[in-house]
A and B are shown apart, each in its own frame.
Chain A
Amino acid sequence: MLIEAILAVTFLAAVVVLVAPDRWAPKLALAGSLLPLLGSLWMYWQFEYGSAGVSGNALLDGALAFETDAVWLSAGGYELRWLVGVDGLSLPLVVLTGLLTPLAILAAWTPIDERKSQFYGLVLFIEAALLGVFVALDFFAWFVFWEAVLIPMYFLIAIWGGPRRKYAAVKFLVYTNVASLVMFGAFMALVFGLGGEVSSFALPEIAQALQSAEPTLAGIDAGTLKLVAFVAMFAGFGVKVPIVPFHTWLPDAHVEAPTPASVILAGVLLKMGTYALLRFNFTMLPDVAADLAVPIAAIAVISVIYGAMLALAQQDLKRIVAYSSISSMGYVILGLVAYTTYGIGGATFQMVSHGLLSGLMFMTVGVVYNVTHTRMVGDLSGIADRMPVTAGVFVAGAFGYMGLPLMAGFAGEVFVFLGSFGSTTLPNAPLFTAAAMFGIVIVAGYLLFAMQRALFGEYRVDTEYDAHPAATHDLVALVIAVLLVVALGVAPRIFFQMIQEAANPIVALLGGGA
């Protein structure tokens, strides 16, 4: 019941904030977002793994923590269930969502000055839907949350975004909705292909049936059906991630979105895509993933390099961070396709670490913009003098991105590279790993370049505004984010141990090593 309580509390908080007067909304929303945070931390504390308690992967016959299983409705020979619970892969993402939402709300206090109650209400709605995505383990319940995320995000971008917000919002909505439908169709074909093997849309049941049974549908043989389903689902989830070439909605959405929406978009929304890839493609159809390992790894490396190159070409700080997200998500894909404990575990860890780091970077850029009203690298110079804390955080975040040891980004990337280097299922794994590592060089290039120009040197701001220290609540949010990044970097085992527990059964599917 804990999960239902968290979802209900978040949803109720959203409704309360939505109808509250504008002047109460910011603080009410912050208070409201602390409830799911406490709930998710409580889950973390209560969660026991290893031999002591819950172990394994939720989809592969592992035990579920905080499980609820009830029949929602049954029709056409299938049951739709309300099946929720967490394992070592989903709990870190639940905690990430719980952590980032209050930070995003704090980041909204300065820039959001109209229709506040609607804004904060929608942020909490997104949080409820996101938590739902990570805890739901029945396909339909999961899909309801998955689609529900789109609606508040559409409004956040379209109402409070930048000049081209309406275009960006519609592009985001239509692009990701079409992707969802493609994925939905593919998954349905797979389930119906299993025929009598499954009697519900519970993901564990489907995942386990797929390990032995051969799905066939309408005369299509199992190999083709699984291949087509894998590709369609990969494309469908890939849009969310996003992978090259499905990434074009992301910069538009990010640049136009208000800062808090960017934080949630990059921090959590993109992880929906990689989380779903892990849960669906890589857990349910491991043999297809192994067959397609080379093209997938190629897509991953291209995303890493191409995303980084695009970031290198940008002048807008926000665009730089947005494109670098594409690059970072490429590492996640590379880790997944490696099918090693470090690869899959590192990919999951990278989701959390990138969630915090990209949130941190977007918040920092947002703070700079609030003060100077520009995000163009060329318009800024030497603002470190006037905004020392913000600049310090910017440097910390940038180094986190580059993979400075003892920060979360380092741990995530090292795990991924270790894992992908030793992959037994990916041919020429060291080659792909080396190519992806080159991405870090480019990342270092554009971040150092941007920092050197915007933060240091002689003070100059080419707008009508003067740089001054940011508001206290902004700095509090930034510092908390930095502390979290450092904590995860110093002690990756906070999450990595439970991730490993849940990743091992997936690795075992293909007999991969550490």
Chain B
Amino acid sequence: MAAPTSVTLPAITPQVLLGLTALAILGYDAVVPDREDRGVLAGIATVGALATLAVTAFFISEGTGFDEPLYQFERQLVVDGMSLFLTFLVAAVTAMVAVASYDYLRGHDYQAEYYSLLLLAATGMSLMAASNSLATAFVSLELASLPSYGLVAFLKDNEGSVEAGLKYFLIGALSSAVFVYGVSLVYGVTGSLLLGEVAAGIGGAEGMSGLLGIGVLMIVGGFAFKTASVPFHFWAPEAYEGAVAPISGFVSSASKAAGFFLAFRVLTEAFPASTLIDLGVDWVLAAQVIAIATMTLGNFAAATQENVKRMLAYSSVGHAGYALIGLAALNGGHDGLVLGASMSHLMVYGFMNTGAFLFVALAEYWDVGRTFEDYNGLATKAPVASLAMTIFMFSLAGLPVGGGFLSKYFLFLGTVATGTWWLGAALVVNSALSLYYYARVVKALWIEEPATEHHLDGYPVGLYLALLVAALVTVALLPGFGMVIETAQDATTVLGP
């Protein structure tokens, strides 16, 4: 296919680019250790993320790996539509967070470390979706998690940040241990770590279905942690609230999406639902229970919050429940539709949720406070940012101002199509409820009178830029949703054992 003069990019170029950017930041810091120019660090991180974004978009537009997955390193990694889809999402969120952090981190030390940890975590996340064996899955999971712990605890003089980091780390370490133990059980039963061979090995595991079941359950537990699903969600509100706001956006959008993509691949390729149900291991049922519990708990908890960041944290748990429909409605004859809908929801969510946290970052930058009341009347001083936040809130609630509307309705469509209508009913009821607390933010911004006059300390360019990009993409994803859902559905066609 290639003409003699053309050069073919390696399939894992995006992941390599992200990793190299992290190293470049560390390298620059080593060569020029004492400097004032935090702009260069943010610049390298942004350019690296944007380059990754461009390459990924190019790969997707060329259909790389969509028909035939491109296996790398003895089938340990795979580049296909799904991994590219997630890499695109992670790179986009990383770029927004890097730009926003430029303003947010003024006056903080260890900026090089911050940006390199950010890029390393992004590398791990994009590898998670490209893992084709349980070993690389575990390694990339850790590569994504360890820098995240550090990032959450970045404000080391701030008690909340350190506490959040510690909680995140302790629960994360525990769930990693559970995950890896599950992997060892599965390896014991099937004799392989490669996803495809695990699926093949299950057939010969007649007498050991109990052991296999425990293993699968433990692996599902590991995913539940990474995606902040019930019952491993306790760390999420603390970590999201305590972390610096751009990192809250990063962890709750990109990291969560990565967890889902890993779960999608591992569960569909290594543990196909139809095979496992014959053995008496029904993880679809488990996913259904977790999905309903997660969305309900997240929404009810979010409705009772007074602190906007904490509300967003719980809403993020609720959205994990929506995205879980991708797993919970599997094996109903429309796997491509439900997985595609879930992936698309995570994509849209990546923009609207990151944007919402960036608005919180902006509010923290201005020191206006954290509760709904503190936001009162902010729209008179910052109408553009408030408009962006309004778009995020209504889109998160599923009103048609952004892509969140269509992605939710496609999830709903998936549940109706597969006959799991009670999942759809739970989605609808929770969505309707969520409008109440999302509207509270809007009400505070535009309708309530401020208790005291706001004095805003300038309009930070980086934060505004990231915020506006997130808002524009969120809106553009309403008419342009077709591109996302069609790509996502094409990407799922190669899945399966």
- A residues with CB within 8 A of B: 72-78, 80, 140, 143-145, 147-148, 150-151, 154-155, 158-159, 166, 169-170, 173-174, 177-178, 181, 184-185, 188-189, 192, 217-218
Contacts and interface: CB of A to CB of B under 8 A. Distances in A.
Contact of B435 (A77, A145, A174): A174
B413 A151 contact: no
A145 B399 CA distance: 10
A158 B483 CA distance: 36
B117 to A, nearest CB: 37
B296 to A, nearest CB: 16
A173 B435 contact: yes
Interface stretch (B123-131, B150-158, B257-265, B333-341): B333-341
B66 interface: no
- Count chain A CB atoms within 10 A of each CB in B412, B413, B419, B436 and give the residue with the most: B413
Interface string B456-482: 000000000000000000000011011
A73 B337 CA distance: 13
A144 B443 contact: no
B486 A73 contact: yes
Contacts of B336: 76
Contacts of A80: 482
Nearest to A158: B447
B177 interface: no
Contacts, number: 93
Nearest to B406: A140
Contacts of B443: 158, 166, 170
Interface in B419-437: 419, 421, 424-425, 428, 431-432, 435-436
B401 interface: yes
28 contacts: A73-B482, A74-B482, A76-B334, A76-B414, A77-B337, A80-B482, A140-B406, A140-B409, A143-B400, A144-B405, A147-B400, A148-B400, A151-B394, A151-B401, A154-B439, A158-B443, A159-B446, A166-B443, A173-B435, A174-B436, A177-B432, A181-B428, A184-B428, A185-B425, A188-B412, A217-B416, A217-B419, A218-B421
A185 B401 contact: no
Interface string B481-497: 11101100100000000
B375 interface: no
Contact of A75 (B340, B401, B424, B425): B340
Nearest to A161: B447
Interface of B: 334, 336-337, 340-341, 394, 399-401, 405-406, 409-410, 412-414, 416-417, 419, 421, 424-425, 428, 431-432, 435-436, 439, 443, 446-447, 478-479, 481-483, 485-486, 489
A189 B436 contact: no
Contacts of B486: 73-75
Contacts of B447: 155, 158-159, 166, 169
A217 B332 CA distance: 13
Label chain A's interface by main secondary structure: helix
A76 B417 contact: yes
A177 B435 contact: yes
B482 A150 contact: no
A75 B410 contact: yes
- Count chain A CB atoms within 10 A of each CB in B341, B424, B443 and give the residue with the most: B443
Given A76-B410, A150-B399, A189 B421 contact: yes
A184 B409 contact: yes
Contacts of B483: 73
A151 B399 contact: yes
Nearest to B380: A115
B413 to A, nearest CB: 6
A185 B424 contact: yes
Contacts of A150: 399
Contacts of A192: 416-417
A121 B409 CA distance: 28
A76 B337 contact: yes
A219 to B, nearest CB: 9
A70 to B, nearest CB: 11
A71 to B, nearest CB: 8
A49 to B, nearest CB: 32
Contacts of A75: 337, 340-341, 410, 482, 485-486, 489
A147 B405 contact: yes
B432 A178 contact: yes
- Count chain B CB atoms within 10 A of each CB in A78, A166, A170, A188 and give the residue with the most: A188
A216 to B, nearest CB: 12
B305 to A, nearest CB: 17
Nearest to B428: A181
Q: Which 4 residue pairs are nearest across A and B when measured between Cβ atoms? A: A73-B482, A76-B337, A144-B400, A218-B419
Contacts of B401: 148, 151
Nearest to A77: B337
A218 B336 CA distance: 19
Contacts of B406: 140
Contacts of A145: 400
A188 B408 CA distance: 13
- Count chain A CB atoms within 10 A of each CB in B400, B405, B446, B481 and give the residue with the most: B400
Nearest to B485: A75
A115 B394 CA distance: 22
Nearest to A80: B482
Nearest to B417: A192
- Count chain A CB atoms within 10 A of each CB in B439, B483, B486 and give the residue with the most: B439
Given A178-B432, A181-B431, A72 B482 contact: yes
Contacts of B416: 185, 188-189, 192, 217
A398 B431 CA distance: 42
A152 to B, nearest CB: 11
Nearest to B479: A72
A181 B478 CA distance: 18
A318 to B, nearest CB: 21
A14 B411 CA distance: 32
A261 to B, nearest CB: 14
A185 B428 contact: yes
A456 B141 CA distance: 80
